[in-house]
Amino acid sequence: DVIKLILKQIQVGIIGGSGLDDPDILKNKKEKKVTTPFGDPSDALITGEIDNVQCVLLARHGRLHNIMPGNVNYRANIWALKEEGCTHIIASNAVGSLQEHIKPGDVVIIDNFIDRLSSLCRKQTFYDGESGHPVGVCHLPLEPAFCELTRQVIFEVAEKLQIFIHRRGTVICIEGPRYSTKAESNMYRQWGGDVIGMTSVPEVVLAKEAGLCYAAVGLATDYDCWRETGDHVNVADVMRTFKENVIKVTKLITAVIPAIANKKWEQPVKELKDMIQANVMLPH
Ligand code: ADE
The catalytic position among 106, 111, 194, 222 is 222
In the reported structure, the alpha carbon of residue 42 is separated from the centroid of ligand 1 by a whole-number distance in angstroms of: 20
Q: What is the pLDDT of residue 4?
A: 42
Of all protein residues, the one whose alpha carbon is nearest to atom 8 of ligand 1 is 197
Q: Count of CB atoms within 10 A of residue 81's CB?
A: 29
From the CA atom positions of the chain, what is the Rg in Å?
Answer: 18
The rounded percent of the chain whose pLDDT value lies above 70 is 96
Report how far residue 9's alpha carbon sits from residue 228's, in angstroms, rounded to the nearest whole number. 51
Confidence of residue 18 (pLDDT cuts 50, 70, 90): low
Asked whether residue 3 carries a pLDDT value surpassing 60, the answer given is no
pLDDT at 25: 87
Q: What is the average pLDDT across 77-93?
A: 97
Q: Which atom of ligand 1 is nearest to the CA of 198?
A: 9
CA distance 224 to 88: 30
What is the structure's pLDDT at 214?
Answer: 98
Least confident of 8-22, 136-150, 206-220: 8-22
Cα–Cα dist 212/15, whole Å: 13
Q: How far does the centroid of ligand 1 lie from the alpha carbon of residue 195, in Å?
A: 8
**Dihedrals phi, psi of 23, to nearest 5 degrees:** -70, -10
**Does residue 9 have a pLDDT over 60?**
yes
Mutate to test the pocket of ligand 1, among 172, 186, 238 (most ligand atoms within 8 A of CB): 238
Diameter over CA atoms, the chain: 60
Question: So what's the pLDDT on residue 21?
Answer: 67
The protein residue whose alpha carbon is closest to atom 5 in ligand 1 is 96
Regarding the beta carbon of 94 and ligand 1, being less than 6 Å apart is answered yes
Is the CB of 124 within 6 Å of ligand 1?
no
pLDDT band for position 24 (cuts 50, 70, 90): confident
- Is 274 in the active site? no
Q: Which of 224, 231, 237, 274 is catalytic?
A: 224
Closest to 133 measured CA to CA, from 225, 52, 55, 37: 37
pLDDT at 74: 98
Which H/E stretch holds residue 242?
A: helix 235-261
Per-residue model confidence (pLDDT) at position 44: 96
Would you say residue 5 has pLDDT above 70? no
Q: What is the pLDDT of residues 155-212, one digit of tens each?
A: 999 999 999 999 999 999 999 999 999 999 999 999 999 999 999 999 999 999 999 9
Pocket test of ligand 1: the residue of 175, 184, 222, 243 to mutate, having most ligand atoms within 8 Å of its CB, is 222
- First-to-last CA distance in the chain? 19
How remote is the CA of residue 196 from the centroid of ligand 1, in Å? 6
The per-residue pLDDT of the chain, averaged, comes to: 94
pLDDT digits (tens, 9 = 90+) for 249-278: 999 999 999 999 999 999 999 999 999 999
Interface confidence, given as ipTM, is: 0.99
Distance of CA 233 from the midpoint of ligand 1 (Å): 7
Q: Is 145 in the pocket of ligand 1 (CB under 6 A)?
A: no
197 CA from centroid of ligand 1 (Å): 5
Ligand 1 binding pocket includes 179 (Cβ within 6 Å)? yes
Rounded to whole angstroms, how far apart are CA atoms 41 and 79? 8
The number of the ligand 1 atom at minimal distance from the alpha carbon of 97 is: 6
Helix (H) or strand (E) holding 80: helix 74-83
Ligand 1 atom with least separation from CA of 222: 3
List, for residues 97-149, the tens digit of each pLDDT value: 999 999 999 999 999 999 999 877 899 999 999 999 999 999 999 999 999 99
75 has pLDDT over 70? yes
Give yes or no for residue 196 CB within 6 A of ligand 1.
yes
